Amino acid sequence: MARSHAEWKQLAAELKIEGRAFINGEYRDAAEGKRFDCVNPANGAKLAEIAHCGEAEVEAAVKAARRAFESGVWSELAPLKRAAVLKRFAALIREHADELSLLETLDVGKPIGDTTAVDVPASAYCVEWFAEAIDKVGGEVVPVDPKLVGLVTREPIGVVAAVVPWNFPILMASWKFGPALAAGNAVIVKPSEKSPLTAIRIAALAKQAGIPDGIFQVLPGAGDVGRLLALHMDVDCVAFTGSTNVGKLIAGYAAQSNLKRAWLELGGKSPNIILPDCPDLARAARAAASGIFYNMGEVCTAGSRVLVHKDIKERFLEEFKKAAAGFFPGDPLDPATSMGAIVDDIQYRKVLNYIDKGLSEGANLLLGGKAVHTDKGLFIEPTAFDCPSDDLTICREEIFGPVLSVITFSELDDAIRIANDTSYGLAAAVWTSNVSTAHQVSRRLRAGTVWVNCYDEGGDMNFPFGGYKQSGNGRDKSLHALEKYTELKSTLIKL
């Protein structure tokens, strides 16, 4: 049953928030009681004090994870039994959906309509999907000399550290721990210090579901925790989602230590190409607005560059402005709100600085461009620029906020060149009525996901997610994600 604005506010007032780390099956404070404040970006209110983990907690968690993994209590559990536990975990996430949605909304400023409809349900679905996959993925019997039996099997990699971002805290975490747990690993989740609440809460749900102590742990804290996990000689794999700059550091730490597997899902500057034979300009404009303003633009696949053909530019911009009018910041606890708050003051200032940069470099402001002044809230208007060239800073760098760059082109080859002229390669889109053009353009775009006549569609788990170039390596989602958390073993038996 849908709740009203008043009901969500009442629930928020009554909410009890857990802020301790979860290590070896129990909540505990950090050494010496170190804590940091968790603040609601929509109003500046302090939500909770969170355990500030450090070296002592990392050592305790890794030791517990190694012990639990080596015991076989999870890694050697029959696939059907492991699947049953993960299905219970997914069911508990659904059972506590309102609480988790509320935690997510308060923690990072997301609209409650989004967390209830997308973030939490999609997280439960992810865990359930990988639970269903556990007993569907087998090995190989290799054709060899008849005097031999040759087997190829996949085994869990061991202790997995999942360092996850603040823009989709519970969802991005589930994309890591879902397949990692399904494969039989022990997992340590390090949530962003900007968004620790849902990860901390679901740790108790994991235990309630039957996941053994030491197999699922959560270490809130600053960047040092991620660095210590990536450097740790007894961590076998680090999976990271976040900025490209930090991803490079994580890869370096992995290389400096035990050459642990390092899987990186990083930044993007995704192009959304509107060709003159676009089948529905109004729909393309609505998709473009949603592609950059959804989740306040704090999305790695955000369609932050719209490349529009000169012949249809004016008509497109008219439709885009109409669509953008449907996005305006408001109280995240109001189900009618379409845009929430920017996650924290650091990101807020960063986005405003990029807007100033666009103006100073000669971009034409089409809409927005200002902070929305509320009582201590961090809100920014949906913003779009018409850019005289693709060399402007706002056209080149990932802003991670509600700021769109519109770039004009006259020839298809120019559009492809501009689209690919970036260090990133996470996602892209093309709008055309010609199926041959759609195939040709999608092949030429250097991106891990290409949408045709839509943007950011396909929320199911069957599609691998990840990017080319400096958008990272490896893939989240799909059966390909299971591969990341396993090692291949060849076994030859002489008869």
Say whether 155 sits in a helix, a strand or coil. strand
Q: In this structure, which amino acid lies at residue 323?
A: A
Three-point CA angle 91, 58, 32, nearest 5° = 105
Using CA atoms, how far residue 19 sits from 33, 103, 202, 401, in Å, is 12, 12, 12, 28
* Residue of 265, 298, 319, 381 with catalytic role: 265
How far from the centroid of its chain's Cα atoms is residue 172's Cα?
A: 4
Q: What is the DSSP letter of 146?
A: T
How far does CA 149 lie from the centroid of its chain?
42
Is 95 one of the annotated active-site residues of the chain? no
Backbone angles phi, psi at 149, to 5 degrees: -115, 125
List phi, psi (to 5°) of 115. -65, -35
- Measured between alpha carbons, how far is 482 from 462 in angstroms, rounded to an integer? 12
Which two three-digit tokens encode residue 300? Answer: 């790695």
Total count of residues recorded for the chain: 495
Residue ranges of E strands in 224-274:
237-241, 261-265, 271-274
Q: Kindly list the catalytic residues.
A: 265
